[in-house]
Copies of this chain bind each other. A is one copy, B any other.
């Protein structure tokens, strides 16, 4: 089968054998924001030479701005619920192919502020977090904190941490005080994580980045790491259950940074394997009976 994790800014395709092992893997910058609506052509190019009939797509490709909008499933969302909701599409530009879309998952109770995920639900299907309750963090532009129970997604919350970090660096007064490099300063990062526990709240702690700079107590080169620590500290303190370990899903650079912050706060991080999207899509195909 062919598994595709199709996000806003990038695209990852996997050619899998009958046991779910990756035969070949391709990535591109053709996220849905960079396809000009020609999703079938982009997909055809991505899977050139991969002959399999069954194709599963997860991520923003199923959003309103994507190829075919998929409704959100409510929580709790089990693997069987996601598999049953797979939507089959046939496209004349891709003859002989079955294209299956994975739905997103939403928190949407009557008294609740809603929340949404697209793509992360598939990574969570690919994760082996064991029986019982587990908490998972998927860091990114919009970090997701999910709770699982026997593998079912029972609830989650999104934090705009990555987007806010980028905004503050590029457009704020704080950014003007910062060095452009991405050097990681572990001491400044730890100071930021520590700071996030003080009184005064995030809006006050952000101004502290500037004030520390004014008094030459935070070098320009260390300021981005300090800011990152402040933001991650606030995210983790507000969203983590500090009594349990946290499964970290994502790129090595980002999970390393989150793992570091979690440890500073006395929480044990557990790094998940890479390519959980491929494994999750394989499991959904298997559950739906699409494989052999």
B-contact 0/1 string along A208-238, CB 8 Å cutoff: 1001101101000000000000010011011
Residue from the list B142, B199, B204, B237 in contact with A159, Cβ < 8 A: B204
Contact (Cβ within 8 A) A158 B238: no
* Count of residues in A whose CB is under 8 Å from the partner chain: 44
Asked whether any CB of chain B lies closer than 8 Å to the CB of A50, the reply is no
C-alpha spacing A188/B109, complex, angstroms: 19
Q: Which residues of B contact A202 (CB under 8 A)?
A: 201-203, 234, 238
Binds B, one of A11-19, A37-45, A111-119, A278-286: A111-119
Contact (Cβ within 8 A) A207 B142: yes
Contact (Cβ within 8 A) B231 A159: no
Contact (Cβ within 8 A) B239 A201: yes
Distance (Å) between the CB of A153 and the closest chain B CB? Answer: 16
C-alpha spacing A171/B208, complex, angstroms: 22
Residue from the list B106, B170, B200, B214 in contact with A157, Cβ < 8 A: B200
Sample of 8 further A-B pairs with CB below 8 A, known A114-B211, A170-B171 = A114-B215, A114-B217, A115-B211, A157-B204, A159-B200, A159-B201, A160-B206, A167-B167
Question: Which of A200, A205, A231 lies at the interface centre, i.e. has the most chain B CB atoms within 10 A of its CB?
Answer: A200
C-alpha spacing A173/B163, complex, angstroms: 8
Contact (Cβ within 8 A) A239 B200: yes
Asked whether any CB of chain B lies closer than 8 Å to the CB of A48, the reply is no
Assuming A202-B202, A208-B113, A238-B201, is B164 touching A171 (CB within 8 A)?
no
